[in-house]
Amino acid sequence: MADYKGMLYGAMVGDALGVPVEFENRGSFNVESMIGYGTCNQPPGTWSDDSSLTLCLAENINAHGNLDSLMQKFVRYLNDGYLTPFGAAFGVGNSTTQSIRRYEEGTPAEQCGGTSEYNNGNGALMRIAPLIKCLPEEMAFKQVADIVIAYTRITHGHPRALVASIIYVEILRNIAAGHSFKMSVENTEKELSINLKQDAILFDEYKNFFEKIFQPEFYQLPQSYIRSSGYVVDTLEAVLWCIGNSDNFKDAVLKAVNLGDDTDTVGSITGSIAGLLYGVQAVPDTWIENLVSKEKFEPIISKFIIT
CA distance 271 to 14: 5
Consult the annotation and say whether 116 binds a ligand. no
Consult the annotation and say whether 50 binds a ligand. yes
Consult the annotation and say whether 229 binds a ligand. no
Amino acid at residue number 282: A
Consult the annotation and say whether 234 binds a ligand. no
Consult the annotation and say whether 265 binds a ligand. yes
Q: Mind spelling out the 3-state secondary structure of the chain?
A: CCCHHHHHHHHHHHHHHHHHHCCCCCCCCCCCCCCCEHHHCECCCCCCHHHHHHHHHHHHHHCCCCHHHHHHHHHHHHHHCCCCCCCCCCCCCHHHHHHHHHHHCCCCHHHCCECCHHHCECCCHHHCHHHHHHCCCCCCHHHHHHHHHHHHHCCECCHHHHHHHHHHHHHHHHHHCCCCHHHHHHHHHHHHHHHHHHCHHHHHHHHHHHHHHHCHHHHHCCHHHCCCCCEHHHHHHHHHHHHHCCCCHHHHHHHHHCCCCCHHHHHHHHHHHHHHHHCHHHCCHHHHHHCCCHHHHHHHHHHHHHC
- Cα–Cα distances (Å) from 306 to 1, 103, 300, 303, in that order, read 11, 31, 10, 5
As annotated, the binding site includes 48-50, 262, 264-265
As annotated, the binding site for Mg(2+) includes 48-50, 262, 264-265
